[in-house]
């Protein structure tokens, strides 16, 4: 297998003190532990995910459109591939847009097989068996872009209206709560601050970071605030923050134990870099702003837990390694 260029996640330990202002200079992230794991190197496409047990999930394959999800055990020594078979028509044409892992480990895949059938949902059980594709009963002019799943068989869908939409909706975002039969439970008329739908549609920008917190709420990142949405579809909070590096994008959120980790992604030339803004939940007080050193190379941000902090994965000399790095 080809060694992937992996971006890494840091291990967070709960921080008891927080400053009121964002530090100007980022603090360094230093691994507290590094261990080799038994799995061979693999190609990773996009951000990974974790379940409540710390098992890690990657979108893998030869291209971004391949519908293959690799699950690694929390210790990194066991792997299982979730892959579509030919059990339904056009399975070979199904193309992945996003995937999400519920806390219990159920995997949901957003994708489609044709322009007319733009958005469908697949569900993999813990044994890796996929369901039949479930058409999403969202408006025909909506393109589904990202999802976040719960253990209650509910999915938060973020997308946008395409060029076929009415003039007052064209190019605007779409946010809805769906059940796993594909039905829309509730359309959420909530705008995401700073979301550039034109760049998102052209592939020049990433989707806003979204997370399911350990409190059961959804967290959605705008450019300068985090929206908190209940599973009942209510906007229950807005957490403002200052982006310490305005050219970066809040690409990922991790929410647990009274802490929010905002992964800020930026492109510098041909290189991609991540930094981490750590906030108290729900006050938004700043714990710190952290950045891996260039000497440490590319880490893949995997999981966060209040007990263990952030966990990173790295491939080095054809060896897969797991690292933890507390925020000091």
- The pLDDT tens digits of the residues spanning 115-131 come to 556 789 999 987 888 88
Q: Is 60 exceeded by the pLDDT of residue 235?
A: yes
Average pLDDT over residues 207-227: 95
Give the per-residue pLDDT at 23: 44
Query: Where do the DSSP E strands lie in 131-257?
Result: 134-135, 142-149, 154-161, 173-179, 184-187, 210-212, 218-221, 225-229, 235-240, 249-256
- Per-residue pLDDT band for 161 (boundaries 50, 70, 90) equals very high
Q: Is 70 exceeded by the pLDDT of residue 209?
A: yes
Taking the CA atoms of residue 91, residue 109, residue 208 and residue 66 in that order, the dihedral angle to the nearest 10 degrees is -40
User: What is the DSSP secondary structure assignment for residue 198, as one 8-state letter?
Assistant: H
Sign of CA dihedral 240, 244, 248, 252: negative
* Mean confidence (pLDDT) of the chain: 84
First to last CA, the chain: 36
β-pairing verdict for 134-135 and 142-149 = unpaired
For the chain, how are helix, strand and coil distributed in percent, rounded to 5? 5, 45, 50
> What kind of fold does domain 27-324 have according to CATH?
Neuraminidase (2.120.10)
Name the residue with tokens 């209040």: 306
Q: Choose between 313 and 237: higher pLDDT.
A: 237
Q: Is 60 exceeded by the pLDDT of residue 11?
A: no
Alpha helices in the chain (DSSP H): 197-202
Contact 299, 250 (CB under 8 A): no
Which range scores top for mean pLDDT: 5-14, 135-144, 295-304? 135-144
Contact 142, 159 (CB under 8 A): yes
Which range scores top for mean pLDDT: 44-58, 223-237, 267-281? 223-237
- Per-residue pLDDT band for 114 (boundaries 50, 70, 90) equals low
Name the residue with tokens 């330990």: 13
Residue 166, phi then psi, degrees to nearest 5: -60, 150
Q: Is 80 exceeded by the pLDDT of residue 274?
A: yes
Q: Is 60 exceeded by the pLDDT of residue 18?
A: no
Q: Is 50 exceeded by the pLDDT of residue 316?
A: yes
For the chain, the structural domain boundaries read 27-324
Give the per-residue pLDDT at 117: 60
Tens-place pLDDT, residues 40-93: 877 776 779 999 999 999 998 777 777 889 999 998 889 899 988 766 777 778
Contact 211, 263 (CB under 8 A): no
Name the residue with tokens 């892992």: 101
Sign of CA dihedral 216, 97, 209, 228: negative
Q: Is 90 exceeded by the pLDDT of residue 141?
A: yes
| Best CA proximity match to 110, nearest among 140, 154, 146, 142 | 146
């Amino acid at each position: 297998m080809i060694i992937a260029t992996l971006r890494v996640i840091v291990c967070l330990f709960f921080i008891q003190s927080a400053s009121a202002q964002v530090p100007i200079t980022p603090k360094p992230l230093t691994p507290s532990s590094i261990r080799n794991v038994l799995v061979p190197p693999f190609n990773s496409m996009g951000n990974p995910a974790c379940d409540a047990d710390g098992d890690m999930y990657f979108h893998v394959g030869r291209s971004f459109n391949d519908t293959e999800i690799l699950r690694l055990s929390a210790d990194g020594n066991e792997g299982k591939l979730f892959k579509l078979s030919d059990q339904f028509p056009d399975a070979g044409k199904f193309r992945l847009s996003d995937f999400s892992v519920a806390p219990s480990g159920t995997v949901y895949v957003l994708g489609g097989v044709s322009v007319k059938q733009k958005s469908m949902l697949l569900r993999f059980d813990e044994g890796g068996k996929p369901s039949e594709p479930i058409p999403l009963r969202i408006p025909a002019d909506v393109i589904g872009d990202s999802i976040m799943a719960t253990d209650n068989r509910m999915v938060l869908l973020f997308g946008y209206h395409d060029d076929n939409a009415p003039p007052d909706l064209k190019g605007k975002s779409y946010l809805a709560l769906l059940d796993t039969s594909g039905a829309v439970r509730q359309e959420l008329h909530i705008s995401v601050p700073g979301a550039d739908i034109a760049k998102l549609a052209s592939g020049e920008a990433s989707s806003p970071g979204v997370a399911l917190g350990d409190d059961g709420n959804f967290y959605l990142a705008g450019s300068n605030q985090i929206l908190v949405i209940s599973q009942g579809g209510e906007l229950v909070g807005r957490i403002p923050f200052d982006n310490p590096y305005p050219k970066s994008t809040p690409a990922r959120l991790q929410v647990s134990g009274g802490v929010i980790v905002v992964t800020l992604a930026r492109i510098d030339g041909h290189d991609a870099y991540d930094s981490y803004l750590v906030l108290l939940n729900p006050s938004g007080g700043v714990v710190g702003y952290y950045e891996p050193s260039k000497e440490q190379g590319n880490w893949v941000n995997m999981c966060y837990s209040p007990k263990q902090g952030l966990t990173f994965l790295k491939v080095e000399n054809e060896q897969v390694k797991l690292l933890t790095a507390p925020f000091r």
